[in-house]
Every structure is written in C-alpha cells, then in structure tokens.
C-alpha cells in the first residue's frame, strides 16, 4: 500500500498550515484514502486499480489552495457575543474596552478585505467634505485666527473714542495726556496704546520708491502687544515723547529683508515720505500689525505723524486735547473681562470730564467704546462672512450628498452581509454589538475620508488664490487644531449617520429569512431606502446646478453691462504726491508735465489724470441746484438752497479724461488747457446726459449755467456747461447710472492722484513706460496700484465669481456623486432581478424589452427626484434673488437645462446595468444558486 | 431551452445542506459522509476527499459543526463531526430556502400547478 501520508504532506506544503493542524489534516486524509483503497480491494479490485481510485480522491482540484482558502475563511469565530472576562466569567469595564479594540481590529480587517468598497467610500467622503472643510477653514481664518506675533491676542481689544450720532460713529482724536489720565487707576486694563494706519512712501538712495502700508503707533505699542524682535527693539519712551529730533522706525521682517538683503537693518536710514528715519528694530517674522487683511510693514511714532505728512512746523505739536489717534488697543488685566473693562473705561472718561483737566470736558460726549477683539474689523468681517456663508451652505449640502452616497454603499453592503449578520446573531451576538461593529466600521471610513478631505482642502488653497474680497483682502484657509477638530466632528456625524441604516438592517435580520434569501435579494425596505437616498441626491444636485447656472448667468450679465466707459486697454496708476509733501501748485504742474511726457509716447493713445475713478473708486458727493430752484432760492439762507439741491457725484479731470475712458460727447467739447489748469480763470463743467435731462430737459445744454449752492467755505457759484457726455455706472455694474459733474482738475488741485492711460500695448509694458517717465520727473515719488480697469472690474465681481465657481464645481461634484449612487442602485436592482430577467428572456421577452424594464426603474427616480429638485431649487433661488442680476430666479431656460442634465445623468448612469440585464444568459442565471 | 443542472452545479449550492443533514442525527467521520452521499444519491453525487474535507473545515470554522478525535477499542482513532446548535439553525434555514428554491424552479418550469 502506498505511503499516503507523505504524498498528502507534499501536496499541502504550500498551504502554509500550522504544524499541528497539518498533522491532523494529513492523518484524516490518509485515513480516508486508506478506507477507499481497502474498500476497493474488498470488492475484488486489483491493487493498481484500488490505488488509482484512492489517488483520484485527492487529484481533483488544488488541495493546498483549497485548504489555505478555508483557513482564511471570512467568518472566523471572532468578536461575537458578549466579551467575557475569562477569569471571572463576567463582563468588566476593562473588557468592554477590549471588545472595542476587537471591534476596531475587526472592522479594519473587513475593510481591508474589500478594498474597492473602502476606497470608494473614503474617496467620496473626502471629496464631499473637502470643500466644506475649506469653507470652514476660511471662516476659521475670518473669525478665530489669533493675531500672529501677539502675546495672548484674546486678551486684547480695540477701543474707539468718539460718539454715536444718528446711528453712525464719529471718531474723535484724543491726546496722549488724556489717554494716560483715563488709564491711570484702571484695574481692568493693564495697557492702552494707540495706532493709526497710513500708506507711506518708502525709498532708499539706490532703490526705486514704493508705497508701503504702515502705522503710526504710541511708544508703548510693542510692549502692550508683547511683540518680540528679530533685531533691535521697539520704541523707547523718548521716541514718542516729542515731535522733534530723529524719527525712529521699526520694520517688519519682510520689509527689512527686502530693503537690506545683506545685512542688519538696525541703525540704517530709510526715507519715509522724504524724511530720513533711523531703523531701531525689526519685528519678528510673524508680526504684521493687528489688522488681518490689512497688514502693516513699518511702524512710526505717533507724534512724528504731522512731520511725516509734511505739516508746517507750527503744527508739529498737537493742542492739549488732541493727538494722532482715535483707535487704541487695550490689554485686559489678569482675571478682568471685556465687559468690566468697558464699564471701567467709560466711568474713568466721565470722571475725567467732571474734573478740571484742560480740554477734558469733551469726554462728556466723547466716549470710549471697547470692542472685545482684534483682527478683522467689523466691516471686513461682514463682507468676509457674505462671501463664506454661501460656500458653507453649499458645503453642507455636499456633505449630505456624499454621506447619502456612502450610506447607499453601506446599505448595499449590509444587504450582501445580511447572512453574516444573521449567523452572528444566531451564534449569540447581541444586536447592539452588531450595531457597534457597523458604527466602528463607518467611523473608520468617515474619519479617513475627512482627513483626506483636509488634504484636499490644503490643495484647494491654490484655488482661492486671487480671491480678493473688498475690505478683507486675500482670503486664506487656516488649517489648525480647530479645523481638524471640526473636520473630525463632521466625520463623526457622518459616521454615525452612515451606520444607522446597515446597523438597523443587521439587528433586524432574522436568520431564517436571511438564509432563505440566499445571497441575492435585498429586502424591500432597503431598496426603498436606497431609492430614497438616490432621490435626495438627485434633488440636491438639481438645486446646486440651478443655482450655479443662475450665478453664471449673473456673472456673464454683469461683465456685459454697458458701464458707459470702455474698459479695454485702460491701465490706472496712483501716485502718492501728497505723501511727498507736494503743494497744490506743484501737484498741478506735475500733472501737466507728466501728461505732456506720457502723452507723447508712441505706444500711448490717450492719457489723463483725475481725482476719482469709475469702478473701484470712491464716491465724491456734491450738490447742484436745478434752474427753477436756483431762481427760487436766490437771496434765501444757504441752508435752504442746500436742502433744495440735487445730490450728484463729481470727478475732477484733465481734458484727455473722456477720450481715455472711451466716453462720447452728446454735445459740446472737453475742457480747454486754460479751463483745466488755471484755477478760477474760466469756470467750466461737463455734465452727464441724464443730469442734463433732469436739469434742463435736454442734452443740448451747452452754455447753460450750473449752480452750486454754498457748501462749507465755498460760496454759491455758477459755472457754464461746456459739454454733455454719456452716463456711466460709477461703482459697479449693478449700480444705476448716476448724475455726474466733471470739473477741471485745477478746481481741486492735490486731489488728482490717479493717472489713467489708454494703450494697445501690454499692461506690463505700459506700467514700465509710465514708471520711467514718473521717475524722470521725481525719482523719489512712488507709484502704486497699477491696475487695468478690467482687473478692477474683476475685483469688484469677486464675490459673484466665487459664488458662480463654487456652485459650478459643487454641482459637478454633486452630479458625479449622484451618478455613482444611481449606477450602484440600478446595478443592484439588476443583480436582484437577474433571475426574473433570465426567465423573461427565456419565455420570449426581447432584449430591448428587458432594457426598458430596467430603465423604467431609473425613471422612477427621475419622476420623484426631478420635481422635488426643481421645487427646492425654485425655493432656494428666491433666497438668492437679491444677488442675481439680469436673470429671474425662475428663469425657464435654467430649469430646462437642469432638468435635461438630470435626465441625462440618470439615463447614462443606468444604461450600463440595463445593457448587462439585457445580455443575461437565461441558462446561467437559472443555474446559479 | 433550459438544460438540467449538472450534478456539479447542484452540489456547489447544496453541499453544505447535505453535510449538515448527514451529521444532524449522529456524528460521522469524513469517509462515512462521502460514502453516504454517494449511496443515498445512487451514485449521482460523488464527493472526493479533495473537496469534501475543505468543506468540512469551512463549516467547522463557521461553528456549524464540530470535529473531535475519537478512539474506540480495537479501531484507529477517527475524526468525528457533529452538528452544533448554530448549525441546526442554519440547517433549518437552508432546508427552507432549498425547498422554496425548488418550488420556484418547478413553478417556472411548469412541473407544479
């Protein structure tokens, strides 16, 4: 008789069994083969035949692989039933934790065994949480970011001195002495310091001048904030005590490096607005002032501010009640609260007013207001919030979508694992234990997904580049522990939601029905659940798509609005001539010289200077009297005339302005050289068409007098209209066309700091050309903010652009997620009904009929999802109506496109499974099981 | 149209059921189980050791049957398999499922009213 044992041992050598187990298996098989052999012999077979019969027993199949597979069976007798303390036979707290670790290990193993499912689920979570986390990151930056470089920034608040009148805040500059008197004796505030922001012209002997944001500060500024220094120190007591003598200067680390790349900055001289200032310190890298979005690069003593701004020497010192600041920073004393500090500050100011300190009586009305935070100011925060809020809302929708998708995957998996759950229950696992297993599993998936989502967010930072929000500056995403905590709580929330459905299914499954169903067959309730999820997904996608389309239309419309000016080829510059101490006369001369030089450059088509700028400019208001009111108020008190006058906007311009901005004359002409540059010689105004209509009833208004009522120190006066130009929209495309009066630049010399150039050359070349001409006229005069009008318009539309882009990207993501979800759902339906389809085909149904059958189930999703989505979109659009432009919230086209997109997505997503259903081989299907 | 399922196909789906039924009343060793299946099916179904034992090990790992080495006087020691309480539940469920399946097939193919 052959040696079966060694034969079998050889065959099992690859199975990787434990020696003891292998020994048993070898023995069992050997016995079986021997039995077979002996039986054959007993029946009278020859030895060779008996041996062949026995050998046949182990020849079929690959024994080692079969056995190895069995040993890796997916159903090891693992964490089922209650975890017991083996020594004492009862559950204990330590073992509850053991059970939990067991769960985590077990869930990890299960997920590893289905890598496709795990990858799909985590990626979906990552993609859907990523944008939300990004939006939260921006909000984090807006609202929570502590000021870098400042010690305990949450203990620092802003104090404004001023009074509220008619709901608006009127700031009052207060003196050093008064502030010191108010602070003396305060127990709740340990330090009070002032600051005032300013744009400053910075130049070195051998470097081009530039405009840098900086601040005038009180001498104790750096001490109160706890700023540390890279080099040197902050201001000493003496440096902010007198307006005379050397001016000390502190630089930011960035500015110091760029000005003095190869050496220490302390002790060097930098020219600020043309004044020599000595560097006494360089602040640490992180510190950039106390205003987020408006960083400071250099700091000067407050008392130097009149001198730096070219005030005559008699005005270098302040009168006793005034100083350079109305904004102060207060540091709370230990254990004090902002409310206590606010109350104590006000009491102290009132006490000062009651005393005999010279000039302190003003504190009866001028009050300190403590704002319990630093960083973004209230207005910047508001405008930042307007931008972030829609992103957050949409982000939440996307998380819902992603979660629905993954829930779908989990339910699907829960169905296929119904047997496993049933068996576990049969073996004594409690329902809660099974639910816990599902919870752990979905928590793992959602946490890994959320961490990936944070990574997506980090990548998305680039996406935000160039998103400059007016008043806030460039948006940033701050990734810190707070963001991670929020990401993980989103993950936890999603995880819990995900585990609900499968856990319910698992705990409710009863063995008999699960087994009876075999591997096929989702229960009807799970199918309903999954259809419901798909419907929700579709509806949300439709909402997002509709809103995205509405905002894209809005953006298009805004870009195409006729502003009344021609943006193309116009580049604008600002020059800080006031900072350089130019007198009005010198400014005017500078304008003429500059226009002369730039106007003669061959690449330049037209050039002008002006006091203001349409798009991105400010609003200079004034009033004019209509002819009838001019007659009626003649000789009446100034107040009466002023109240009867019409509000208008003004701009002070040079003759080339209208050509540069591509405007049309409806009547008359532009200013002459004399009108433009000789103040008071020949008064003249040019007015906009609608103003001409309003005042004179016609645009042919040349020669008619325009009456300005007395205002301030200016007496009532007339100026003849020399031209009528087309209307413009001033601030942004959404503004209406306004009444405009253009006055000669000579009337407001010193205000005209904007240079506008029309050219077909590249903007960068234009900037270089103009820069060269400016430095020939005054090498120390810096130019700043060279922007094309188109870029200015883009900046104005940042919010609309962000909205449109964010929604478009999210709508695309949403549809992708919905498509995946529906594909999975229909595939599952097909798998469930494979037998039915096989039978139908077998009894004569045609393949297209079967396909139609599958598509019909997809149609059900459209039938519910589409109306629901369109309804929600309609409601949602009403909410954003105020932000739309040129498109109605119920724009038929938009809804038609969205419906088509929805139908297309559903059909495309279910076409594959439908095709598979129609290709079913009836024979194979009926054999399975 | 449809062809009768081959014994191999049927075996695949029903082997668990067969084995559980055979060890339901009394414990049996592997060779015994193989012989019984062959005999009771009049030779229609044959299990070779190479497929039988992996199945037994699988059922054992799932906790539906348990195997134990038993020595009887004058005989070699043998590994006997007996059904567990969990196995009994599974068996009941599978019997029901199988019955439903056969009934469904018959209904479709028209062998039953």
Q: Tell me how far apart the alpha carbons of residues A650 and A633 are, in angstroms, rounded to a whole number.
A: 22
Q: Does A65 touch chain B (CB under 8 A)?
A: no
List helix spans (H) across A60-183.
Answer: 63-71, 93-113, 115-143, 176-183
**Residues with Cβ < 8 Å from A567, sequence gap 6 or more?**
A615, A788, A789, A790, A793
Terminal Cα distance for chain A, rounded: 41
Q: Number of A:B CB contacts under 8 A?
A: 102
Q: Sorting pLDDT into bands at 50, 70 and 90, what band is B113?
A: very low
ipTM, interface predicted TM-score of the complex: 0.84
Residue A914, SS3 per DSSP: helix
What is the distance, to the nearest Å, from the Cα of residue A546 to the centroid of all Cα atoms in its chain?
A: 21
pLDDT value at residue A581: 81
| Other Cβ atoms closer than 10 A to A261 | 7
Ranges of residues in chain A whose predicted pLDDT is under 70: 1, 60-61, 73-99, 144-146, 166-167, 206, 237, 292-293, 375-381, 412-431, 460-476, 502-526, 616, 748-752, 785, 925-929
Residue A929, SS3 per DSSP: coil
* Closest residue in chain A to residue B3, using alpha carbons only: A923
Tokens of A233: 């120190």
CB A436 within 8 A of CB A82: no
* Mutation site, B7, B50, B69, B101, interface A, largest A CB count within 10 A: B50
Q: Tell me how far apart the alpha carbons of residues A120 and A115 are, in angstroms, rounded to a whole number.
A: 8
Q: Which of residues 405-424 of A touch B (CB under 8 A)?
A: 423
Q: Select from A484, A476, A485 the least CA-distant residue to A135.
A: A476
Residue with tokens 């989103």: A490
* Closest residue in chain A to residue B109, using alpha carbons only: A839
Q: Does B105 touch chain A (CB under 8 A)?
A: yes
- How many alpha carbons lie under 13 Å from residue A687 in its C-beta half-sphere? 28
Q: Select from A505, A492, A508 the least CA-distant residue to A440.
A: A492
Q: Select from A287, A250, A290, A244 the least CA-distant residue to A272.
A: A250
Residue A308, SS3 per DSSP: helix
pLDDT value at residue A509: 56
Q: Tell me how far apart the alpha carbons of residues A196 and A920 are, in angstroms, rounded to a whole number.
A: 78
Tokens of A294: 């408006």
- Element of type H or E holding A755: strand A754-759
Pick B62's closest partner by Cβ from A75, A923, A927.
A75
Contact B13 A929 (CB under 8 A): yes
List helix spans (H) across A60-92.
Answer: 63-71
Tokens of A101: 């670790």
Pick B96's closest partner by Cβ from A69, A75, A512.
A512
The three state secondary structure string of A628-690 is HHHHHCCCCCHHHHHHHCEEEEEEEECCCHHHHCCCCEEEECCCCHHHHHCCCCCCCEEEEHH
pLDDT at B71 over 50: yes
CB B88 within 8 A of CB B24: yes
pLDDT value at residue A608: 93
- Element of type H or E holding A605: strand A604-610
Q: Tell me how far apart the alpha carbons of residues A11 and A27 are, in angstroms, rounded to a whole number.
A: 13
pLDDT value at residue B96: 81
pLDDT value at residue A93: 47
A228 φ/ψ angles, rounded to the nearest 5 degrees: -105, 160
pLDDT value at residue A880: 80
pLDDT at B85 over 90: no
Radius of gyration of chain A (CA): 40
Tokens of A814: 């949403």
Q: Does A514 touch chain B (CB under 8 A)?
A: yes
Note the residue count of chain A: 929
For residue B49, the distance in angstroms to the closest alpha carbon of chain A comes to 5
Average pLDDT (B82-110) is: 82
The three state secondary structure string of B32-52 is HHHHHHHHHCCCCCCCCHHHH
């Amino acid at each position: 008789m052959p040696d079966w044992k060694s034969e079998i041992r050889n065959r099992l050598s690859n199975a990787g069994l434990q020696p003891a187990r292998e020994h048993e298996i070898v023995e069992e098989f050997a016995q079986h083969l021997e039995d077979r052999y002996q039986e054959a012999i007993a029946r009278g077979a020859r030895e060779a035949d008996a041996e062949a019969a026995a050998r046949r027993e182990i020849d079929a199949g690959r024994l080692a692989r079969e056995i190895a597979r069995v040993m890796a069976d997916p159903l090891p007798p693992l964490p089922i039933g209650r975890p017991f303390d083996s020594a004492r036979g009862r559950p204990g707290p330590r073992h509850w934790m053991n059970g939990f670790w067991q769960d985590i290990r077990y869930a990890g193993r299960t997920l590893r065994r289905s890598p496709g499912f795990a990858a799909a689920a985590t990626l979906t979570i990552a993609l859907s949480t990523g944008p939300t986390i990004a939006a939260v990151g921006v909000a984090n930056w807006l609202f929570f970011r502590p000021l870098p470089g400042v010690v305990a920034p949450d203990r620092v608040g802003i104090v404004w001195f001023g009074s509220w009148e008619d709901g608006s805040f009127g700031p009052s500059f207060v003196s050093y002495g008064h502030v010191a008197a108010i602070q003396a004796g305060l127990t709740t505030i340990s330090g009070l310091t002032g600051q005032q922001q300013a744009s400053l012209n910075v130049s070195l002997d051998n470097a081009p001048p530039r405009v840098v944001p900086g601040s005038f500060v009180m001498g104790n500024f750096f001490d109160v904030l706890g700023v540390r220094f890279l080099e040197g120190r902050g201001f000493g007591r003496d440096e902010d005590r007198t307006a005379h003598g050397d001016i000390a200067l502190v630089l930011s680390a960035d500015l110091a490096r760029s000005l003095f790349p190869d050496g220490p900055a302390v002790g060097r001289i930098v020219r600020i607005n043309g004044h020599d200032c000595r560097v006494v310190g360089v602040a640490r890298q992180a510190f950039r002032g106390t205003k987020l979005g408006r960083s400071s690069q250099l700091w000067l003593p407050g008392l130097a501010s009149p001198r730096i701004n070219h005030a005559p020497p008699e005005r270098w010192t302040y009168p006793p009640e005034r100083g350079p600041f109305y904004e102060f920073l207060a540091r709370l004393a230990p254990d004090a609260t902002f409310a206590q500090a606010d109350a104590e500050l006000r009491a102290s100011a009132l006490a000062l007013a009651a005393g005999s300190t010279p000039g302190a009586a003003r504190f009866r009305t001028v009050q300190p207001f403590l704002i319990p935070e630093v960083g973004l100011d209230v207005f910047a925060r508001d405008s930042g919030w307007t931008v972030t809020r829609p992103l957050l809302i949409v982000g939440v929708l996307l998380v819902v979508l992603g979660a629905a998708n993954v829930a779908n995957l989990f339910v699907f998996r829960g169905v296929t694992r119904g047997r496993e759950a049933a068996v576990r229950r049969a073996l004594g696992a409690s329902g809660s234990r099974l639910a816990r297993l599902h919870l752990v599993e979905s928590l793992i998936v959602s946490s890994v997904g959320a961490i990936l989502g944070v990574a997506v967010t980090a990548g998305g930072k680039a996406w935000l580049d160039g998103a400059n929000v007016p008043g806030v500056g460039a948006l940033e995403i701050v990734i810190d522990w707070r963001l991670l905590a929020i990401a993980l709580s989103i993950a936890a929330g999603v995880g819990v939601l995900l585990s609900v459905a499968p856990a319910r299914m698992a705990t409710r499954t009863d063995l008999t029905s699960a087994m009876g169903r075999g591997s096929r067959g989702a229960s009807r309730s799970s199918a309903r659940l999954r259809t419901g999820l798909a419907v929700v997904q579709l509806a949300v996608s439709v909402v997002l798509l509709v809103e995205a389309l509405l905002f894209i239309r809005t953006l298009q419309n805004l870009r195409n609005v006729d502003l009344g000016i021609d943006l193309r080829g116009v580049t604008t510059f600002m020059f800080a001539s006031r900072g350089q101490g130019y007198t009005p006369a010198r400014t005017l001369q500078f304008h003429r010289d500059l226009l002369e030089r730039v106007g003669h450059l061959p690449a330049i088509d037209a050039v002008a200077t002006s006091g203001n700028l349409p798009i991105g400019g400010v609003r200079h208001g004034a009033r004019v009297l209509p002819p009838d009111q001019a007659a009626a108020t003649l000789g009446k008190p100034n107040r009466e005339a002023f109240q009867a006058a019409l509000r208008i906007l003004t701009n002070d311009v040079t003759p080339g302005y209208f050509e540069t901005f591509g405007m049309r004359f409806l009547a008359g002409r532009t200013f002459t050289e004399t009108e433009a540059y000789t103040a008071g010689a020949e008064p003249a105004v040019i007015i906009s068409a609608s103003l001409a209509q309003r005042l004179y009833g016609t645009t042919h208004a040349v020669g008619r007098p325009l009456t300005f009522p007395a205002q301030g120190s200016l007496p009532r006066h007339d100026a003849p209209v020399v031209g009528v130009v087309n209307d413009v929209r001033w601030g942004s495309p959404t503004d209406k066309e306004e009444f405009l009066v253009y006055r000669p630049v000579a009337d407001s010399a010193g205000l005209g700091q904007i240079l506008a150039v029309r050219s077909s050359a590249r903007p960068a070349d234009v900037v270089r050309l103009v820069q060269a001409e400016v430095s020939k006229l005054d090498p120390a005069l810096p130019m700043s903010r060279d922007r094309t009008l188109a870029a200015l318009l883009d900046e104005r539309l940042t919010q609309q652009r962000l909205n449109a882009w964010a929604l478009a990207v999210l709508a695309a993501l949403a549809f992708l997620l919905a498509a995946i979800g529906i594909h999975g759902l229909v595939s599952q339906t097909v798998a469930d009904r494979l037998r039915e389809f096989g039978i139908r085909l077998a009894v004569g149904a045609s393949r297209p009929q079967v396909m139609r059958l599958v598509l019909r189930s997809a149609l059900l999703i459209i039938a519910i999802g589409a109306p629901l989505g369109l309804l929600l979109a309609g409601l949602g659009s009403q909410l954003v109506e105020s932000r739309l432009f040129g498109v109605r919230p119920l724009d038929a086209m938009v809804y038609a496109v969205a419906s088509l997109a929805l139908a297309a997505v559903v059909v495309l997503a279910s076409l594959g499974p439908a095709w598979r259903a129609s290709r079913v081989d009836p024979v194979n299907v009926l054999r399975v099981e | 149209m449809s062809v009768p399922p081959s014994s191999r196909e049927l075996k695949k789906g029903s082997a668990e059921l067969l084995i559980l039924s055979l060890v339901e009343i009394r414990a049996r060793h592997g060779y015994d189980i193989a012989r019984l299946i062959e005999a009771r099916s009049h030779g229609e179904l044959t299990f070779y050791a190479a497929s039988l034992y992996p199945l037994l090990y699988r059922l054992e790992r799932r906790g539906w049957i348990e195997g134990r080495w038993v020595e009887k006087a004058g005989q070699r020691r043998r590994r006997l398999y007996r059904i567990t309480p969990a196995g009994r539940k599974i068996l009941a469920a599978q019997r029901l499922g199988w019955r439903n399946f056969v009934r469904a097939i018959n209904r479709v193919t028209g062998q039953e009213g």
